[in-house]
Chains A and B, each alone.
Chain A
Amino acid sequence: MNRHEKAKNFKQVNHSVIKIDALQLALGKDSYVADFVPRDALTIKMLWSPHPHARIKSMDVSKAEKMPGVKAVLWYGNVPRIAHCTAGQGFPEPSPYDTFMFDKKVRFVGDRVAAVAAETEEQALAALEVIKVEYELLKPVFSLDEAMAKGAPVIHDESEAHVPIPIPYEPKKNLVAHVACEAGSFEKGLKEADFTFDQTFETPYAQHCPIEPYTSMAQIASSGRIVITTSTQVPFHCRRIVAKTLDVPVQKIRVIKPRIGGGFGCKQEVLLDDVTAMFALRTGRACLWQFNREETFRTGRTRHPFRIRLQTGVKKDGTITAINMDCINNTGAYGGHGLTVVSCAGSKVLPLYHCENIKFDGKSYYTNLPVGGAYRGFGATQAFFAMESLMDQMAEAIGMDPMKFRQINHIREGEGSPIFAALGEGREGTPMTVGSNALAECIVQGAEAIGWKKRQDWRGKTGRYRRGIGMACLMQGSSIPDIDMGAASIKINEDGSFNLLVGATDLGTGSDTVLAQIAAEELETTTDKMIVYSSDTDLTPFDVGAYASSTTYLSGEAVRKAAADAKRQILATGAEMLGVLVEEVHCEDATVQNKDGSKKVSYSDIANYALYQKNQYQIIGTASHITKKSPPPFAAHFAEIEVDTWTGFIRVLNYVSTIDCGTAVNPTLAEGQTEGGTLNGISYALTEEYLFQNGRMMNASFADYHIYSMRDRPPLQTILVPSYEETGPFGAKSVSEICINGPAPVFGNAIYNATGARLNEFPFTPEKVLKAIQAVEKK
């Protein structure tokens, strides 16, 4: 029996149970932060910097403070100045402490200047207009070249800027982070090659565009504590970071995460909560701050743009002899995630293909542009564009089918990569061998679905409309080994239902449902018996939060262990009630029964017995989980496109996403993750871009920054290819991030296959594609 066949015997896991909050959300019931705002809440508005780089010479808020309805104004003159990091990572962060609640310096268009809390939005906006600010303009830095140049303006010249762990950080050179490693010898590998390649790729800015903008509300409870209800992916990190920034004890803060209207990484950033909490403290009132869409684009976090120089060597037989990946990312004005995103560009990409000589160098630089953050795919998205583009070119050079070239080179079960050990997050990585890998099958099924066999060389193609087929192979990780921790607790109620309390953060992904299924599977009951609560720093156990593709794999295993703990107690009490030894009973269909089923007692009766009748106690299981591995999910993506060679316009005829996520705990939700991430990736590859004028993002609306609508959606096919990850809950590993990495390289390769034009930067807008086609025709 294949290991993944095991999943067929599961009763809750590997079933598409209905997402537990779906009806509530479809009905429009109060669910999100802004739905819980009291009528008398104050509205917060921020005065944003209009300049990319300036020092504030003077500021006068006195007039604003006296404006009608204004309850408080915050600016650098009346708040604590505490260097911190908003990245929403574990502690201590592998990111610089380079941010203050308010500062005397502004570092990008959209940086904070001063904030007002007033009775109405109109009053708050009116007050912002009368805040007087005098700026001393400084020379801005708008590109990596300008940031790295000798004598470049120093963006973080404040004395407090530092990284809390010993890693390279040189703000005087605008250098946010530097990480490097080498396995084998790249130089030696290059000498062994028959063909060598050296190309540079550029990837663009992009925004997550959750339909719910960043939203945070803070209130003062009757106890005097600060209660923050916020659209966050990281409630516990939020509590810790706000406590630090306000200089109040963690004990004084409660963070509640209700339903979240999408995040995709941007709500890992703790971007609003220090201000809402400070206003609540100052005014004693509930204070709401919701970004508008412009603010979400300009001040919200973005995907780090990368410049990637990729050098490789390949032998005629298809052996990749050398890879050197040199990544430079632009973190924008603040350095959160600078190191980790660039590390993941190496660690989530380079292990995919066999190669004995791999070198990696990653650097991050400040600029006076919007700030990079965590975004689904997290560095792997950018690096896979380079890697998979070059894979096709290597295959062509040696005259091999690019699919076959990938098939003979990709990592297999039981194999490791020196990169796993070399590249961690702010420290060395964790050695690992791949325990589950259905990539080979993903490639076969994806190729079949797209019709790979009909793919032909571009040189024979003529006419205005030319079709091309492209592919890419992908991997990601599942949680950060040795760093991330998730915990859960589960207790029984009289009717045999369970309260499952998790710190894990469902931000719309369906993780509450997935975790309920895992608990129900372990407890031999049904998912509808689970009352899931996520997450609340007062009530639920700790969890690092929703990032790094960790929830199913890491928090899921914590839930399974907590359920197993509760199950032991249920078995013991059941055996006591049946008058038999605990070794003689097992759990089945929400009962405890002996081997032949002649004696049984229901969970409900067990709960009543334990709560009310004899030897009373609360049946409650609790567990924490850390991982030693970060098992990669694998995927092969394929697309067929049609290029209009007169206009450069690309039409996507068919897109196939395969995915090996181990056991799909909920196949429908796993498909949904893949479909959503893939379409986001398609939109990112073809149309999304930030347009700047003097550092100001000019297209801050969905009218000008186009994300795909139902009409734009091309035919999309998702294929779940099962494997079984022994270290994950019921064989599961991660699913949500990997899919966004595919479209850019897949389309790049398909455009080449259609026209012979190779584009090393995207989005593949008609203008860019046309220019590239014309360059081919001139040759």
Chain B
Amino acid sequence: MTKGTHTVSFTLNGEKQTFDTRPDEKLLTLLRREGYRGTKYGCGQGTCGACTVLLDGRATYACLLYAMQAEGRSVRTIESVGTFDNPGEFQKELVAAGAVQCGYCIPGMVMSATALMETEKDFEDEIVKEYMDGNLCRCTGYEKIWVALRKVLDRQAAEGNKPAAKKTSSKGAKNEQA
């Protein structure tokens, strides 16, 4: 990397940080360069979701965002969600459901689901799909990702007295109801 011509400051996973950058550098490139490599490059076109991070709580494609657009804002990456000793709820369920095949899309999925869980009160299927639509997976057919996600959402809904989804199309979710 050539020397940065500019700097950018933002809150990264809760910690205020300043990085060298250039105006044409994408946030994804900066993050990976700085060691936040759980955020993946998949398309560079804002279509696959492997690079999803949270920007002020909203799921955002880091491959499209210029690093300098993050100035003064709050960025969260997969590194903030869980550790080996203390994985996030969705991460735990993904592992238990056998939803992680190649795993390349999973960090992005986790970030979109985090945005969903922290933003919405209602976890109806259609709303869930809206949030997860921007994260492509070619390995799983989404079945087990869906099962894992529904499990977490239904549990959260039950705990927070949020309404659980009424109707679902998936086999796994049907089993959930049974």
CB-CB under 8 A from A19, the residues of chain B are 95, 98, 100-101
Contact with B along A176-214 (1 / 0, CB 8 A): 000000000000000000000000000000001111110
CB–CB B43/A261 < 8 A? no
Which of B50, B79, B110, B139 meets A26, CB within 8 Å? Answer: B110
The CA of A14 and the CA of B73, in the complex, are separated in Å by: 49
CB–CB B138/A262 < 8 A? yes
The CA of A176 and the CA of B71, in the complex, are separated in Å by: 56
The CA of A119 and the CA of B1, in the complex, are separated in Å by: 6
CB-CB under 8 A from B129, the residues of chain A are 710-711
Contact with A along B39-50 (1 / 0, CB 8 A): 111111101101
Which of A24, A676, A702 meets B48, CB within 8 Å? Answer: A702
Point out which of B77, B81, B91 has the most chain A C-beta atoms below 10 A from its C-beta: B91
Which of B41, B79, B98, B141 meets A28, CB within 8 Å? Answer: B79
Which of B97, B102, B130 meets A212, CB within 8 Å? Answer: B102
Known: A22-B103, A27-B91, A69-B2. A208 touches B138 (CB 8 A): yes
The CA of A16 and the CA of B94, in the complex, are separated in Å by: 14
Measured CB to CB, the nearest residue on chain A to B105 is A211
Which residues, 97 to 150 on B, are CB-close (under 8 Å) to A?
Answer: 97-107, 110, 129-130, 132-146
Which of B32, B50, B170 meets A715, CB within 8 Å? Answer: B170
CB-CB under 8 A from A666, the residues of chain B are 98
Which of A34, A39, A509 meets B1, CB within 8 Å? Answer: A39
Measured CB to CB, the nearest residue on chain A to B38 is A28
CB–CB A29/B38 < 8 A? yes
Measured CB to CB, the nearest residue on chain B to A655 is B141
Measured CB to CB, the nearest residue on chain A to B96 is A18
Interface size class of A (residues with CB under 8 A): 35 or more
CB–CB A212/B40 < 8 A? yes
CB-CB under 8 A from B106, the residues of chain A are 25-26, 28
Task: Give min CB distance, B149 to chain A, whole Å.
Answer: 9
Point out which of B45, B99, B110 has the most chain A C-beta atoms below 10 A from its C-beta: B45
CB-CB under 8 A from A669, the residues of chain B are 98
CB–CB B142/A27 < 8 A? no
The CA of A96 and the CA of B41, in the complex, are separated in Å by: 34
Q: Looking at chain A's contact residues, is the secondary structure mostly helix, strand, loop, or mixed? A: loop
Which residues, 117 to 170 on A, are CB-close (under 8 Å) to B?
Answer: 119-120, 122-123
Q: Is B87 an interface residue when CB atoms closer than 8 A count as contact? A: yes
CB–CB B171/A211 < 8 A? no
CB-CB under 8 A from B96, the residues of chain A are 18
Known: A23-B91, A716-B171. A39 touches B47 (CB 8 A): no
Q: Is A713 an interface residue when CB atoms closer than 8 A count as contact? A: yes
Interface size class of B (residues with CB under 8 A): 35 or more
Measured CB to CB, the nearest residue on chain B to A119 is B2
CB–CB B138/A31 < 8 A? no
Task: Give min CB distance, A119 to chain B, whole Å.
Answer: 6
Q: Is A536 an interface residue when CB atoms closer than 8 A count as contact? A: no
The CA of A481 and the CA of B91, in the complex, are separated in Å by: 40
Measured CB to CB, the nearest residue on chain B to A210 is B138
CB–CB B103/A261 < 8 A? yes
Q: Is A717 an interface residue when CB atoms closer than 8 A count as contact? A: yes
The CA of A708 and the CA of B50, in the complex, are separated in Å by: 15
CB–CB B48/A679 < 8 A? no
CB-CB under 8 A from A715, the residues of chain B are 169-171
Measured CB to CB, the nearest residue on chain A to B111 is A28
Task: Give min CB distance, B94 to chain A, whole Å.
Answer: 5
Q: Is A508 an interface residue when CB atoms closer than 8 A count as contact? A: yes
Point out which of B37, B50, B94 has the most chain A C-beta atoms below 10 A from its C-beta: B37
Task: Give min CB distance, A399 to chain B, whole Å.
Answer: 35
CB–CB B47/A701 < 8 A? yes
CB-CB under 8 A from B37, the residues of chain A are 28, 30, 34-35
Q: Is A32 an interface residue when CB atoms closer than 8 A count as contact? A: yes
Task: Give min CB distance, A578 to chain B, whole Å.
Answer: 38
CB–CB B95/A22 < 8 A? yes
Q: Is B72 an interface residue when CB atoms closer than 8 A count as contact? A: no
Q: Is A290 an interface residue when CB atoms closer than 8 A count as contact? A: yes
Point out which of B96, B105, B140, B146 has the most chain A C-beta atoms below 10 A from its C-beta: B140
CB–CB A262/B145 < 8 A? no
The CA of A150 and the CA of B30, in the complex, are separated in Å by: 55
CB–CB A122/B44 < 8 A? no
CB-CB under 8 A from A292, the residues of chain B are 43-44
Q: Is B83 an interface residue when CB atoms closer than 8 A count as contact? A: yes
Q: Is B55 an interface residue when CB atoms closer than 8 A count as contact? A: no
Which of B48, B95, B102, B130 meets A507, CB within 8 Å? Answer: B102
Known: A211-B42, A672-B98, A702-B43. A26 touches B137 (CB 8 A): no
Contact with B along A714-730 (1 / 0, CB 8 A): 11111000000000000
CB–CB B84/A508 < 8 A? no
Which of B41, B91, B95 meets A18, CB within 8 Å? Answer: B95
Measured CB to CB, the nearest residue on chain A to B103 is A25
CB-CB under 8 A from B44, the residues of chain A are 292-293
CB-CB under 8 A from B163, the residues of chain A are none
Task: Give min CB distance, A39 to chain B, whole Å.
Answer: 7
CB–CB A211/B82 < 8 A? no
Provide a sorted-by-A list of 17 A–B residue pairs whose CB atoms are within 8 angstroms: A21-B103, A26-B110, A29-B38, A34-B37, A119-B1, A119-B2, A211-B136, A212-B42, A262-B138, A507-B102, A508-B101, A701-B43, A702-B45, A703-B45, A708-B142, A710-B135, A715-B169
15 other contacts beyond A28-B37, A716-B170, with CB at 8 A cut-off?
A23-B91, A25-B103, A32-B104, A292-B43, A668-B97, A668-B98, A675-B142, A677-B141, A710-B135, A710-B137, A711-B130, A713-B141, A716-B141, A716-B143, A717-B171
Instruction: Return the 10 tightest CB-CB contacts between A and B, nearest first.
Output: A28-B38, A508-B102, A25-B103, A261-B104, A679-B141, A675-B141, A668-B98, A702-B47, A28-B78, A293-B43
